Amino acid sequence: MPIALYRYFHHVRIHVRPNGERFPTIFDITGVPAHYPTCVMLDLRAKNAAALTMESVANDLLHLGQVLIFEDFKNFHQRLEDGDYLDDYEIEIIAERLGLETAMLRKLNDPKVTTADRNRLLEKAPTTVNQTKARRITSAARYIDLVARIGEAKAGPAEKRRRAPLRKEMINFLKELRPKGRSSRTRSAIRADDLAKVVAFAATGDPAKIWSNERLRSRNWAIVTLLVFGGLRNSELRQLRAADIDTNRCVVDVHRRPDDPNDPRIREPNAKTMDRIVPITPEVADRLDDYLLGFGADMAEIGNSPFAFLSDGNNSRGQPISPVVVSEAVEELGAHLGIQGLHPHALRSAWIQQLVDWSVEKGIPPAELDRFANYMGGWSYFSKSASHYRGDHLTQKAFEAGLLVENER
Q: Please, what is the angle between helix 51-70 and helix 88-97, to 10°?
A: 120
Residues 138 and 233 in one domain: no
Same domain, 196 and 239: yes
Q: Which residues of the chain have pLDDT under 70?
A: 1-8, 181-188, 272-273, 381-382, 385-386, 388-409
CA-to-CA distance for 170 and 12, rounded, in angstroms? 27
| Same-domain pairing of 326 and 261 | yes
Answer yes or no: is 150 within a domain. Answer: yes
Same domain (yes/no): 266, 303? yes
Last residue of a domain, one of 131, 160, 181: 181
The range of the structural domain enclosing residue 336 comes to 187-353
Domain-terminating residue out of 119, 146, 181: 181
pLDDT digits (tens, 9 = 90+) for 295-335: 999 999 999 999 999 999 888 999 999 999 999 999 999 99
CB atoms closer than 10 angstroms to residue 185: 13
342 with 198: CB under 8 angstroms? Answer: yes
In a domain, 359, yes or no: no
Residue partners of 277: CB distance under 8 A and separation at least 6:
251, 252, 253, 254
pLDDT at site 398: 54
The runs of H, that is alpha helices, within 293-384 are: 295-303, 323-337, 344-362, 366-377
- Contact (CB, 8 A) for 278 and 251: yes
Mean pLDDT over each residue of the chain, to the nearest integer? 87
Beta carbons of 57 and 44 less than 8 angstroms apart: yes
Check whether residue 158 and residue 38 sit in a common domain.
yes
Give yes or no: residues 195 and 337 share one domain: yes
3-state secondary structure of 385: helix
Report the C-alpha gap between 50 and 21 in whole angstroms: 10
- Do residues 138 and 235 both lie within one domain? no
**Burial environment of residue 82 by CB neighbours within 10 A (0 to 12, 13 to 18, 19 or more):** middle
Does residue 143 lie within any of the structural domains?
A: yes
**Domain-located, residue 376:** no
399 within some domain: no
Is 256 found in the same domain as 328?
Answer: yes
Q: What is the pLDDT of residue 361?
A: 84
Per the domain annotation, does 23 fall within a domain? yes
- The pLDDT of residue 395 is 58
Q: What is the pLDDT of residue 171?
A: 97
User: What is the C-alpha separation between 259 and 204, in angstroms, rounded?
Assistant: 38
Question: Does residue 339 belong to any structural domain of this protein?
Answer: yes
- pTM score: 0.72
pLDDT recorded at residue 1: 42
Q: What backbone phi and psi angles, to 5 degrees, belong to 61?
A: -70, -35
Domain count, the chain: 2
CATH classification at residue 300:
1.10.443.10
Mind listing the pLDDT tens digit for each residue in 221-278?
A: 999 999 999 999 999 999 999 999 999 999 999 998 888 888 999 888 877 667 899 9
First CA to last CA across the chain, in angstroms? 67
On whether both 14 and 163 belong to a single domain, the answer is yes
Please name every residue paired with 14 in a beta bridge, in sequence order, or none if there are none: 24
Question: Do 133 and 240 share a structural domain?
Answer: no
Task: Select from 153, 181, 209 the last residue of a domain.
Answer: 181
261 and 338 belong to one structural domain: yes
Within 10 angstroms of residue 278's Cβ, the number of other Cβ atoms is 22
User: Rg (Cα) of the chain, in Å, rounded?
Assistant: 25
Residues in the chain: 409
Domain membership flag for residue 204? yes
Residue 257, class by beta-carbon neighbours within 10 Å (0-12 exposed, 13-18 middle, 19+ buried)? Answer: middle
Residues 253 and 285 in one domain: yes
